[in-house]
Amino acid sequence: MPPFRHLMLGGAVGLVLLGSFSKPLLSNVSLDFNRFYQSILSDYGEQRARLANTWHKTLEQAKPLPTVQKLKQVNQFINQVVFYQSDQSNNGVADHWASLVETFGKGAGDCEDYAIAKYVTLRLAGVEDKHLRLIYVKALYGGRTQAHLVLGYYATPDAMPLILDNLITEVKPADQRADLTPVFSFNSRGLWAGLSKATNSNPMARLSRWQQVMTQIEREGIRLR
């Protein structure tokens, strides 16, 4: 079985619904840009807040684009404006998931922060939640395997996902990413468990962080649920 095949909705491993994930989801996506802008301005200053304006323009430009072009534009933009920095260096802790305000305010983040920023931007650009999943993978990078998070776009439930990644600039189908081995994936609808047992990451812990950062994003003016 190709590595990513088991993370498709129609694959052998099913969807796990937990707590609020089991409730029907209505489309209620909105952006209070003034609130979002003021959140960055008050915490990080005018220079960093300028990035919010650039992001907003990019978002508006992306909305009418065909989906694949939309994915490419958002992936390129986030990769360009966010510089990679580990959580330990950036936040003084081993694992921290940042809201879009925090990522743009600091101008830096790790793989989770890139994936979250792309997910949020694409939702606001009109991509439905059912097409997007954050995918926890084992990535072969620099001659060693390491934990990594990417964003996947599924055109249909049984489609091979397109991968948005901060490690490379190009958006590629998952079957062209031999360097990535999927473990599990999730979005606001639930968790898809993978087949790999070789992971130190707790899926439930990641879902908890995911729910926390979504709540913070909502406080900052972005509603995705």
What's the pLDDT tens digit per position in 138-176? 999 888 999 999 999 999 978 899 999 999 999 999 999
C-alpha separations of 9 from 3, 12, 48 in Å: 14, 9, 39
What's the pLDDT tens digit per position in 26-56? 468 999 999 999 999 999 999 999 999 999 9
What is the predicted pLDDT for the residue at 142?
A: 84
More reliable by pLDDT, 193 or 224? 224
User: Residue 223 phi/psi, 5° resolution?
Assistant: -105, 120
More reliable by pLDDT, 132 or 96? 132
Query: What is the distance between the alpha carbons of residues 31 and 19, in angstroms, rounded to a whole number?
Result: 26
C-alpha separations of 152 from 16, 19, 20, 53, 91 in Å: 18, 23, 22, 26, 26
More reliable by pLDDT, 224 or 12? 224
Q: Which amino acid is at 103?
A: T
More reliable by pLDDT, 22 or 30? 30
Hunting for tokens 């409730």 — which residue is that? Answer: 23
Q: Say how many domains are in the chain.
A: 1
Query: What is the distance between the alpha carbons of residues 107 and 102, in angstroms, rounded to a whole number?
Result: 8
C-alpha separations of 58 from 30, 72, 84, 113, 190 in Å: 16, 12, 21, 18, 29
Measure CA 141 to chain center: 20
Least Cα distance to 11 among 135, 117, 165 occurs for 135
CATH code of the domain in which 24 resides: 3.10.620.30
* pLDDT higher than threshold 60 for residue 63: yes
SS3 82: coil
What mean pLDDT comes out for the span 93-118? 91
What mean pLDDT comes out for the span 72-85? 96
Asked whether 191 and 182 are in contact (CB, 8 A), the reply is: no
CA geometry: angle 137, 139, 142, nearest 5 deg:
165
What is the predicted pLDDT for the residue at 13?
A: 44
What mean pLDDT comes out for the span 131-136? 94
Least Cα distance to 136 among 191, 77, 217 occurs for 191
Torsion region of 107: left, alpha or beta (phi above 0 gives left; psi -120 to 50 gives alpha): left
User: Residue 190 phi/psi, 5° resolution?
Assistant: 155, -165
What is the predicted pLDDT for the residue at 21?
A: 45
What is the predicted pLDDT for the residue at 77?
A: 98
What is the predicted pLDDT for the residue at 207?
A: 78
Domain that holds residue 117: 5-223
